[in-house]
Chain A
Amino acid sequence: MDAKQYNQCVQEWADALFRFACKCTGQQSDANDVVQSSFEVLWQKREDVQPAKAKAFLFQVAYRQSVDNYRKKSKISFKEAPEETYSPTNPDLKRILDRALAQLDEQARALVLLKDYEGYNYEEIGQITGLNESQVKVYLFRARKILKEYLVSVENIL
């Protein structure tokens, strides 16, 4: 990968990587650091990374930094964050889903985001996260059940 191809990766994947990092870390400043360090690693490894694999490589680095490092530092404070008070005037599904996502642990949240935001299949998610396909399937199964339970509970409140 040369500089031109690297710059193309920046233009194509920086936004998606930033959104993924925002959801994983819960803080925009941390997401900025994740994106910057992920592309820095890609630049250093550009001789070994094929352009077609650049996106998966970026998300792999971002996943490790978002989940592993931030989990160790306990900087993620989704659960401690005050939930927005539900209001019938603000019933949009996106906000409900964001709150539901905050119920998940860091790894499950990352898996859901890789699945729903980027459209990776189980095998590709396994390659990015270092898990096998069965583990990915089990973690996503648990995450979906939690999300569904949250949505149903909110619906019951409604």
Chain B
Amino acid sequence: MITWDNYEEYMIMHADGELKPAEEQELMNFVFEHPELQNELAAYTMTKMIPDTTTTYSKKQTLTKPETTTKLIPFGNWKRSAIAAGVVALIGFSFYKVTVQPNTNPILTNTNNNSNPSITAPTNNKLKKQENNNFTSPAIPATTEQIESNIAAVHQPVKTQKNRVKNTTNSIQTQKERLATSNDAIANSIHSKEAIDKIEPNYVALATDEKNNFAVAVTNVPSVAIYIDNGQTTQSFLDKLPIDELKKEGMENVTSALASGYDKLNAIRHSISESSVTLKLQNKKLTVSF
């Protein structure tokens, strides 16, 4: 409320423009009621300074700075991003290795020298058809000595695996039967090109036994598969490789080693699935609890 004691304060605030609309109205009413204060109010209003806009600073050019156009690319957190990507990739790869379910069906890898090298898995019907026709052996060695040596090499990993496990799956037995009958097929068809054409191409079989946690690889890839007809020589895919006999035998051994490794991997997979292992990715730690 405006009184004689504080009216000057209101007049000065009026000159400063700090009064609210209601206070302005109250001041105007007070001055209207006391006309002798009109000159004083006008005097306070006149104390408001008026800037002289004609006065300018003439040395602006000395104050300005050159404007450089630099474009900054923020790249401050690249280390954290790289570490995060690496951790995600590592975890993803680990889960892939653990969770990928191996195909329990025999996987046949076609190793013939066809123009289409795609991997195929023949059906059981196809295998039965091959057995009925006695064309279970895909390899056609050239000589009897080579045939015997190759067959012995082919049987070696199978026999080794047989000694390890007594109860194998039917697919493994099928492979053994096919190998056992391969000698007759080779002997009967070694001089017949038509028969060779009907023979199933070379293959490598990989079978697993879920119950016994066992896997075995079967191969009958011969080191030499040749027949001679009108001076032309046909060789197997393996023989066309520019490697010596020792390396070819080594490749066959690799198949056996792969079977052993698969056996171990399968065992690890079963162990993990039965031991309720859990993986937790916390803020900065990967916790593995058993």
Interface of chain A residues 1 through 46 with chain B (CB within 8 A) = 2-4, 6-7, 10-11, 14-19, 22, 32, 35-36, 39, 43
B213: min CB distance to chain A, Å:
67
Which of B9, B53, B63, B68 is the one whose CB lies under 8 Å from A10?
B63
On whether the beta carbons of A116 and B12 are closer than 8 Å, the reply is: no
Q: Who on chain B is nearest to A28 by CB?
A: B55
Which of B17, B46, B48, B63 is the one whose CB lies under 8 Å from A39?
B63
Chain B residues lying within 8 Å of A122, measured Cβ to Cβ, are 16, 18
Which of B16, B43, B66 is the one whose CB lies under 8 Å from A148?
B43
Complex-state Cα separation, A69 to B50, whole angstroms: 26
Range of interface residues on B (Cβ < 8 Å):
20 to 34
On whether the beta carbons of A22 and B67 are closer than 8 Å, the reply is: no
Complex-state Cα separation, A76 to B145, whole angstroms: 122
Q: Which of A48-56, A78-86, A94-102 contacts B (4 or more CB under 8 A)?
A: A94-102
Asked, given contacts A4-B67, A10-B63, A145-B12, whether A100 binds B57 with beta carbons under 8 Å apart, the answer is no
On whether the beta carbons of B49 and A10 are closer than 8 Å, the reply is: no
Q: Who on chain B is nearest to A112 by CB?
A: B49
On whether the beta carbons of B57 and A14 are closer than 8 Å, the reply is: yes
On whether the beta carbons of A115 and B51 are closer than 8 Å, the reply is: no
Asked, given contacts A117-B49, A140-B16, whether A32 binds B59 with beta carbons under 8 Å apart, the answer is yes
A67: min CB distance to chain B, Å:
17
On whether the beta carbons of A121 and B18 are closer than 8 Å, the reply is: yes
On whether the beta carbons of B49 and A3 are closer than 8 Å, the reply is: no
On whether the beta carbons of B16 and A35 are closer than 8 Å, the reply is: no
Chain A residues lying within 8 Å of B30, measured Cβ to Cβ, are none
Complex-state Cα separation, A7 to B46, whole angstroms: 36
On whether the beta carbons of B60 and A147 are closer than 8 Å, the reply is: no
Q: Who on chain A is nearest to B50 by CB?
A: A94
On whether the beta carbons of B52 and A144 are closer than 8 Å, the reply is: no
Residues of A in contact (CB 8 Å), total: 41
B56 within 8 A of A: yes
Asked, given contacts A14-B63, A100-B47, whether A141 binds B9 with beta carbons under 8 Å apart, the answer is yes
A93 within 8 A of B: yes
B21: min CB distance to chain A, Å:
16
Q: Who on chain B is nearest to A16 by CB?
A: B51
A139: min CB distance to chain B, Å:
11
Interface of chain B residues 229 through 262 with chain A (CB within 8 A) = none
A131 within 8 A of B: no
B62 within 8 A of A: yes
On whether the beta carbons of B46 and A151 are closer than 8 Å, the reply is: yes
B15 within 8 A of A: yes
- Chain A residues with CB under 8 Å of chain B are 2-4, 6-7, 10-11, 14-19, 22, 32, 35-36, 39, 43, 93-94, 97, 100-101, 112-113, 115-117, 119, 121-122, 140-141, 144-145, 147-148, 151-152, 155
By Cβ-Cβ distance, the 9 closest A-B pairs, closest first, are A116-B49, A18-B57, A147-B47, A14-B57, A144-B12, A3-B67, A117-B51, A15-B56, A3-B65
14 contacts between A and B (CB under 8 A): A2-B67, A18-B57, A35-B63, A100-B47, A112-B47, A112-B49, A115-B16, A116-B49, A116-B50, A122-B16, A145-B8, A148-B47, A151-B47, A152-B43
